[in-house]
Structure 1
Amino acid sequence: MTTGTGTVESPPGPAVVKRVGGRGLVEVVLRAREISIAGALIVLVLATTIANPRFMSAQGVKDIFLNASILALLAVGQTLVVITRNIDLSVGSVVGLVAFLTGKFVAGTERNVLLAVLVAVAIGAACGLVNGLLVSFCRVPALVVTLGTLYVIQGLDHYIAHGQQINASDLPSSVLSLGNDGVFGIPYLPIITVVVMLAVGYYLRSYSSGREFYAIGSSPEAASLAGIPIRRRVLTVYLASGMLAGLAGALWLSRFGTVVADAANGWELQVVSAVVVGGVAIVGGVGTVYGAALGALLITTIGSVLVVLKVDAFWQQAITGVLLLLAISVDRLLALRVARALRKGNRRHGS
């Protein structure tokens, strides 16, 4: 059976599915990945601070969290998709389209920032709905669909823009304040991202419908036999990814003010890298939004470190690619070790 990215193997036997020790082992592995990412972040920050003490200035820390907020928000949405053994390569182009259209909607007016956010989320939801319908109900491979919509949305964005740009001076003060102000010295953007991350993480862990996403990614055939509505669930994750990309587009507009047609161009690699580096298995069924957010923070911090150390920006993309390859390799090795441990446990219990 396929879920948009290819044929999957036969589901594991009942003894494997029900083995509590196996699930505990997977959770330990995931926790270890998240702890290792946090450790790498700490080492990176300490080493850079030693080389340049100004790196950890109040403004430097604020900039890192502001820049990571949008990427982490997109990573949360991407995590939902990847868990179900699919992918969404259109998120960067959705952010660009949403940022420009929302900017045009509020430019030269005093429209409320809440209305701007609602419009942005609605546009993103429409893009996610198209992706979800094509992948889930039309059974077109997710890679093909989202790569196609990436270029379609980019073309639509350039057609609408006609070389124009949105200027910060034309935006309402309430929209700009969302990206530059905060509460008790904490910017709004990281607060919004953390709230969304905690809400999605709680949903995935505490609700049966959230756990069904993992079941689909682990074994679509077993999920189908268990009566899980796979098509509706896959449609749901694409809709959620689109809505979060729409929200990210609104935050992009409020953060940078000036928006052109190719805003967030090329962010697809960064988003996927953040998710995979954060421990979300590209083959589905494994990972958390917390790890994905840490992966986004790590990639953003690396970019800031390279700027501080005056390293060519090209190396940021190269390092991101290397991290992606390493993360996929580690995921494969861990999957093999977990599978081996599960088989040994089953043999010991006579399964």
Structure 2
Amino acid sequence: MTAVGAVDGAVAGRSARGIVELVFRARELSLVVALTALVLVTTAVNPNFLSGQGVKDIFLNTSILALLAVGQSLVVITRNIDLSVGSVVGLVAFCTGKFLAADPGGRGVVVALVLGITIGAVCGLVNGLLVSFLRVPALVVTLGTLYVIQGLDHYIAHGQQINAVNLPPALLHLGNEGVLGVPYLPIITVVVMLATGYYLRSYPSGRDFYAIGSSPEAARLAGVPVRRRILAAYLFSGALAGLAGVLWLARFGTVVADSARGWELLVVSAVVVGGVAIVGGVGTVYGAALGAMLLTTIGSALVVLKVNSFWQQALTGALLLLAITVDRVLAVRVTRLLRRRNARHGA
């Protein structure tokens, strides 16, 4: 009877998780519907919104935010958060720009990418070690490193500015050109997103992240190396923030010490709006990327419609509150469902 009860409980748990995944899949579909409606309405008011340049700008502006959202997704899935990503982007953009400006003819794009990813990975490693092995709360750690990295960035910059004329043409080409009319930045983001999504879905170590987010204690008892996985999540998030910093430099050319300041909250908003549960264990990188595209498109649409930029922040906040509320309601209902099924099987 005990074995039968355990099997029934496992089946019930899988069914509940199936319901959760179904609901969050529906949320991703609702994002597509909302995005389509927004584009159609804005285009009806201003047909230039879907011009070739308009579409290109939306994809370029979405790329960096979506890349950061992919890295943040792994952290949030493990029931943690990384508030330092915006500061890492700013630090990497300036340091890489200063490095390249010293010898624009002799240092190429590959060197810039390696340098940027390395700086970002080191920042992620510090966050991961403090959160996973020293067990300091993620909010405290990443808020602290946010200010430390900002201070370091300002110290290195000393009020200087990196200008596009001092950068290698190949780097600027990466940020503003493309292949067959498709910019390089969205291509890079899509490749990273698909590879990450495939890994999370297809490999046991990838599914460990979801197990940790669902129940860290249960994951530990099941033999999941919880600390190493959380460290890996922060390392990955930091590396992608470093990559995003180089792409930021390539996209805009001119950078100062506080580039991407405040983007950490925008990244978290994109992830949560995209269906990654703030309590961990549920969500996909595809949904996070859709959330980034929705927020970016809202900003572009408001500019086209000549609406005050305040409303972009208000809408972002409203969407974030709505997503968290939905997550909470869903968690409560799933908990009740599990209790009912367990009680029924126990009886």
The answer as to 2:193 corresponding to 1:202 is no
The counterpart of 1:65, out of the listed 59, 66, 69, is 59
Kept after mapping to 1: 8 A contact 2:20/2:330: no
Shifted more, 230-239 versus 22-31: the winner is 22-31
In the TM superposition, what is the alpha-carbon distance from 1:160 to its structure 2 partner?
Answer: 0.4
The answer as to 2:50 corresponding to 1:56 is yes
Give the aligned partner of residue 9 of structure 1.
none
Give the aligned partner of residue 109 of structure 1.
104
Kept after mapping to 2: 8 A contact 1:216/1:285: yes
Mapped to 1, the partners of 2:248 and 2:179 lie a distance apart of 19
Mapped to 2, the partners of 1:216 and 1:276 lie a distance apart of 18
The answer as to 2:20 corresponding to 1:26 is yes
CA offsets, 1:113-170, max 9 Å, x none? Answer: 0111011000000000000011111111000000000000000000100010110000
C-alpha distance 139-14 of structure 1, shift in aligned 2 (>3 A): farther
Give the aligned partner of residue 87 of structure 1.
81
In the TM superposition, what is the alpha-carbon distance from 1:16 to its structure 2 partner?
Answer: 4.5
The counterpart of 1:299, out of the listed 272, 282, 295, is 295
The answer as to 2:251 corresponding to 1:255 is yes
CA offsets, 1:324-349, max 9 Å, x none? Answer: 11110011112222233333444555
The counterpart of 1:231, out of the listed 227, 231, 253, is 227
Kept after mapping to 1: 8 A contact 2:21/2:282: no
Mapped to 2, the partners of 1:45 and 1:119 lie a distance apart of 38
**SS in structure 1 of the partner of residue 81 of structure 2:** coil
Kept after mapping to 2: 8 A contact 1:96/1:264: yes
Amino acid at match of 1:163: G
In the TM superposition, what is the alpha-carbon distance from 1:282 to its structure 2 partner?
Answer: 0.5
Kept after mapping to 2: 8 A contact 1:134/1:140: yes
The answer as to 2:273 corresponding to 1:277 is yes
Q: Between Structure 1 and Structure 2, how many residues are aligned? A: 339
C-alpha distance 90-49 of structure 1, shift in aligned 2 (>3 A): same
Kept after mapping to 1: 8 A contact 2:9/2:345: no
Amino acid at match of 1:125: A
Kept after mapping to 2: 8 A contact 1:16/1:22: no
In the TM superposition, what is the alpha-carbon distance from 1:319 to its structure 2 partner?
Answer: 1.3
**SS in structure 2 of the partner of residue 163 of structure 1:** coil
Give the aligned partner of residue 322 of structure 1.
318
The counterpart of 1:145, out of the listed 136, 141, 163, is 141
Kept after mapping to 1: 8 A contact 2:8/2:345: no
Mapped to 1, the partners of 2:82 and 2:15 lie a distance apart of 32
Using the size of structure 1 for normalisation, the TM-score is: 0.94
In the TM superposition, what is the alpha-carbon distance from 1:17 to its structure 2 partner?
Answer: 4.5
Mapped to 1, the partners of 2:10 and 2:280 lie a distance apart of 16
The counterpart of 1:98, out of the listed 92, 96, 104, is 92
Amino acid at match of 1:154: Q
CA offsets, 1:48-105, max 9 Å, x none? Answer: 1111111111110110010000000000000000000000000000000000000011
Measured on the aligned residues, the alpha-carbon RMSD in Å equals 1.4
The answer as to 2:260 corresponding to 1:264 is yes
Mapped to 2, the partners of 1:182 and 1:141 lie a distance apart of 42
Kept after mapping to 1: 8 A contact 2:159/2:257: yes
CA offsets, 1:211-246, max 9 Å, x none? Answer: 011111110110111111111111000000000000
Mapped to 2, the partners of 1:269 and 1:109 lie a distance apart of 34
Amino acid at match of 1:58: G
C-alpha distance 18-118 of structure 1, shift in aligned 2 (>3 A): farther
The counterpart of 1:309, out of the listed 305, 308, 327, is 305
Shifted more, 18-27 versus 33-42: the winner is 18-27
Mapped to 2, the partners of 1:136 and 1:221 lie a distance apart of 14
Structure 1: segments with no counterpart, 5+ residues: 1-12
**SS in structure 1 of the partner of residue 16 of structure 2:** helix
Kept after mapping to 2: 8 A contact 1:72/1:296: yes
**SS in structure 2 of the partner of residue 73 of structure 1:** helix
